[in-house]
Amino acid sequence: MNLFEPTLQFNGFPIKEAKARLREIQAIAEVDYQAYVHSLRKEIVNYHLRENSYYRDFVGASEMNNWAAIPVLKKSDLQRPLQERLSHGFHPKNSYVNKTSGSSGHPFIFAKDKFCHALTWAEILDRFGWYNINFNSSLQARFYGIPLDTFGYQKERLKDRLSSRYRFPIFDLSEEKMEGFLKTFRRKKFDYINGYTSSIVLFAKFLQQKNITLIDVCPTLKQCVVTSEMLFDSDKKLMQDVFGVPVINEYGASELDLIAFTNQDDEFVVNSETLFVEILDENDNALPNGALGRIVITSLYNRAHPLIRYDIGDTGRFAKDSTLKKPVLAELIGRSNDVAVLKNGKKVPGLTFYYVTKSVIEDDGNVKEFIIEQHALNRFKIIYTSTKPLTEIEEENIKKALFLYLENDLILNFERVEFLDRNNRGKLKQFVNLIKSKK
């Protein structure tokens, strides 16, 4: 049933126009691509300097004259009410509004204008099309979380039905649940797997223990697409061996777009069509191809909200033969998550805590950073920085959310600190299982 794109169009996201624009961009010759990028960069910066008072105050100028002089935007800079950050003429009812996952510990609410969001989907459809994956007809085995409140749950289930998806909720990855997953693969004709890396890796390890190759169970399976967390070479090899199909890596951010995607030559190709991606050093200077640095991204089409020279919090390097039109990530050092193990034996991926974040975060910018530590099978600590301490009611709401997603027999402690410790790359890891380090 061909409902995915018509549904986007019906909801005000001009997907037909976006796909046509993407084809125009892709037709630009390499020799002309620098002019395209430089023109779009200047246009989007000057637009926001003119139409967005928040961004004009942030930059401290009214016109762009030197790209390298534009300050880098950090996630913490965006932790203020959305209404203060929207460009003139935009509001939540005429924009696409969502929350970041908080995987870096810096959650915030963002907006995209509707054409920009349609371009995001045009980009995704194009990349999945490299592997003949059609969102309207290819059946997806979806390893994602799902909201547990009634409205959110039903909304996601409806989206699954409209998008040819069957969802495997990842909040409980016990052997009993994965036995159920396996039974579903035996009876459904899945075309591809798509979902969070750590969850799919756990399923692959479960199959490996049983000496099962998934394609023998589900012969229609053709690909596995992993996203949202680091893909390590050892995990990629495990999944390819156990599933019997190629593993494709997707790197994206909800506030931006699809950032990079594995092509059929096993190159991790960066989206240069709707984004401008830079690798910068600690002083915000651009690094040459091959050098490791901070990944900083500009959304070239988002007029509702500025994301210009935006530090996404990940580290990487371009391949030495990268070009402006075809940049390739040779290395990505990004989001990686532990697995929580509860008293009842349930295994819960770290991304579960992203959903907790989404369900309780308020649009007031109070909580700036946070991490969650597991100290015992039933004991967790939530460490955060904020303008003011969480109230008892706010703490209680977080507890209720964790009880809903995990189990009731949890001891939760809150600790407000001035600064959070970071790893040697400056990244926060939102969830850390400290039980292993105590053994």
* Model pLDDT for residues 344-388, shown as the tens digit of each residue: 888 877 667 756 765 676 666 677 777 888 999 999 998 888 889
Domain extent at residue 396 = 339-438
Residue 391 lies in a domain: yes
Residue 246 lies in a domain: no
Under the banding of pLDDT at 50, 70 and 90, the label for residue 76 is confident
DSSP 286: B
* Range scoring the smallest mean pLDDT among 107-121, 302-316, 327-341, 403-417: 327-341
pLDDT digits (tens, 9 = 90+) for 275-304: 999 999 999 999 999 999 999 999 999 999
| pLDDT given at position 338 | 67
pLDDT higher for 348 or 266?
266
| Mean pLDDT of all residues in 226-241 | 89
H/E stretch holding 262 reads strand 257-262
| Cross-sheet strand order for the sheet of 223-227 | 165-167, 140-143, 192-196, 223-227, 247-253, 257-262, 268-270
Can you read off the two tokens belonging to residue 39?
């023109």
- Residue at token pair 């040459």: 288
| Mean pLDDT of all residues in 423-437 | 62
- Tell me the chain's radius of gyration from C-alpha atoms: 22
Under the banding of pLDDT at 50, 70 and 90, the label for residue 424 is very low
Residue 170 lies in a domain: no
CATH number at residue 358: 3.30.300.30
Task: Give the number of C-alpha atoms closer than 13 A to the C-alpha of residue 105, restricted to the C-beta side.
Answer: 27
Can you read off the two tokens belonging to residue 431?
């969830």
Task: Give the number of C-alpha atoms closer than 13 A to the C-alpha of residue 22, restricted to the C-beta side.
Answer: 23
Under the banding of pLDDT at 50, 70 and 90, the label for residue 307 is very high
DSSP 328: B
Residue 370 lies in a domain: yes
Residue 334 lies in a domain: no
How big, in percent rounded to 5, are the helix, strand and coil portions of the chain? 35, 25, 40
Residue 351 lies in a domain: yes
The answer to whether the beta carbons of residues 409 and 343 sit under 8 Å apart is yes
Residue 357 lies in a domain: yes
Under the banding of pLDDT at 50, 70 and 90, the label for residue 70 is very high
Q: What's the number of domains the chain is made of?
A: 1
Distance in angstroms (rounded) separating the CA atoms of residues 232 and 210: 22
Residue 284 lies in a domain: no
Q: Is residue 42 scored above 90 in pLDDT? A: yes
The pTM of this model reads 0.81
